[in-house]
Structure 1
């Protein structure tokens, strides 16, 4: 073999080895991040199988994912400060159905008046996090919607803005002009930084639709964020995002389940249906609540249950 051919082959081999090595390194980085943000519910409840045996909820859910069953996720955007456990500023429910190739997404208005499970009181639903953290939030949402929540993901809202910036910001269609905390938001298509996206999603008092308008803006940002995340190809950007995720996100989704989602559920992220939970504002003993009547609650419950029904693909 000629000398130049040997040199070329050696260089090519070196790049292949480096590429494989870096790929392994990146995989390990993702795995390490997934392990660091993993935070299971405590205690993990057990369920009874059809054969009478006991199995943890996590084992049942893992089997569901392996079989490509529909599943649900509660997304909690938490406003946490020093010496304060914080409250869930944002509560979004996702149901993912691979047979229908779609995701159903809806907000639970933060002021929704409901029973706080585990506390024996009726209060605003976002107070459940302040009283009992993730566990009480999940149990309260399950009681409100009549369906189990399979997974949760909790994000610190302040730190989440950095992730938005790393993904290049978000583009939204703003239905009307408004200002909030000194920032002007023009009507129409606008590009937002992470900090601007948080402000855009938090304003509600100047919105003609109140909480419903605020919730719609939150869903739009979340959809854009998921779409942008699917487009990430830069290794450096991935590493930077992982660094922010470690500091600001907790979830009970395991690394193996994340890999399963990417393999079997990724295409479903492109088809997102949204609904709104309708209600009205009311003051009770001087406190403002969002009142969801029983008929509307049943409508939301039925939509969620319907979307969680398995549809076998041909």
Structure 2
């Protein structure tokens, strides 16, 4: 009797061990398949993002040899409003300088209506026209001339498509600093949750905000910070395939895979250490029926010196 019980118990234990082993192997297999799929999705997205496909005006844009985890570098962030039958405009233009040694980022928002020399086009007009005239390379040349600093990297984002990533992560929450409304959309003051369509409208509001372009810059920074915050949520691992697809379809840049890994090393060190810069002393002026933001030359020089010092140039 005891022997029978012992044999039965041993058989049950053996079956249990087999089930555990099978289950473990299945989990490992699923894990490997998941990781492989995400790695493939990442590589596929990177090919599309870093220039292997045609990028407007960026055919001659070389990858920078700056090492992001150890050397100061600059990034030009472009939010592009590209619509059918339109050559596109840079709806948002931000210059970010990063100093890994002291662990800080300075971000300068350039008003889209700033009247500047468009380098390579021999015209003086709104800075957001540079992309329409000559794409990313002409935009970079124009910004470098304006600020007298080198631009090492660029990230160009199709805003309408990119903000669909907010739907992938099931919306984002921000603290809205004032009541705003646009068309059928209403954004009350306080904490609000936005989906992709709402975030796109929220990011574009200008005329309904008494701060104009400056208020829009504040909201766009809020959206960026909210998305970065979502990146810390563990559930994002289950959404990587969809996220990589959105990035591949809507983001262009000249970071390589190894440079992106270098950036990842900096993430924790730089988190929350962003200083926001703005041009505030300029004036509005109508010239030949067009409204421009006329930058204050002294303020431009001061900002240029601050960014140059941050980059160590």
TM-score by length of 1: 0.87
Post-superposition CA distance 1:106-160 (Å, at most 9, x none): 2110000111000111110000000001111111111111111111111112112
State whether residues 167 and 232 of structure 1, in contact with CA within 8 Å, keep that contact through their aligned partners in structure 2. no
State whether residues 46 and 257 of structure 2, in contact with CA within 8 Å, keep that contact through their aligned partners in structure 1. yes
2:86 aligned with 1:84, yes or no? yes
Give the equivalent residue in structure 1 for 2:156: 154
CA–CA distance in structure 1, aligned partners of residues 259 and 38 of structure 2:
18
CA–CA distance in structure 2, aligned partners of residues 30 and 125 of structure 1:
33
2:59 aligned with 1:42, yes or no? yes
Change (3 A) 1:306 1:87: same
Post-superposition CA distance 1:252-309 (Å, at most 9, x none): 1112211221124443133222121122211122211011111110121122122223
Partner-residue secondary structure (3-state), 1:250: strand
CA–CA distance in structure 1, aligned partners of residues 139 and 64 of structure 2:
21
Give the equivalent residue in structure 2 for 1:244: 246
CA–CA distance in structure 2, aligned partners of residues 130 and 21 of structure 1:
43
Give the equivalent residue in structure 2 for 1:53: none
State whether residues 35 and 254 of structure 1, in contact with CA within 8 Å, keep that contact through their aligned partners in structure 2. no
Post-superposition CA distance 1:48-89 (Å, at most 9, x none): xxxxxxxxx53533xx33x61121111111111223221111
CA–CA distance in structure 2, aligned partners of residues 69 and 86 of structure 1:
33
Please report how far the alpha carbon of residue 232 of structure 1 lies from its aligned counterpart in structure 2 after TM superposition.
5.0
2:23 aligned with 1:11, yes or no? yes
CA–CA distance in structure 2, aligned partners of residues 225 and 243 of structure 1:
16
Give the equivalent residue in structure 2 for 1:117: 119
2:41 aligned with 1:26, yes or no? no
Change (3 A) 1:250 1:164: same
Give the equivalent residue in structure 2 for 1:60: 65
Give the equivalent residue in structure 2 for 1:214: 216
Q: Which moved more, 1:109-118 or 1:258-267?
A: 258-267
Count of residues in Structure 1 that have an aligned counterpart in Structure 2: 295
Unpaired stretches in structure 2, ≥5 consecutive residues: 1-9, 53-57
Give runs of ≥4 in structure 1 deviating > 4 Å. Answer: none
Change (3 A) 1:188 1:270: same
Give the equivalent residue in structure 1 for 2:299: 296
CA–CA distance in structure 2, aligned partners of residues 157 and 111 of structure 1:
18
Please report how far the alpha carbon of residue 191 of structure 1 lies from its aligned counterpart in structure 2 after TM superposition.
1.6
Please report how far the alpha carbon of residue 18 of structure 1 lies from its aligned counterpart in structure 2 after TM superposition.
3.3
Change (3 A) 1:74 1:230: farther
Greater Rg over alpha carbons, structure: 2
Tell me how large the CA RMSD over aligned residues is: 2.1
Q: 1:267 aligns with which of 266, 269, 277?
A: 269
State whether residues 78 and 88 of structure 1, in contact with CA within 8 Å, keep that contact through their aligned partners in structure 2. yes
Unpaired stretches in structure 1, ≥5 consecutive residues: 45-56
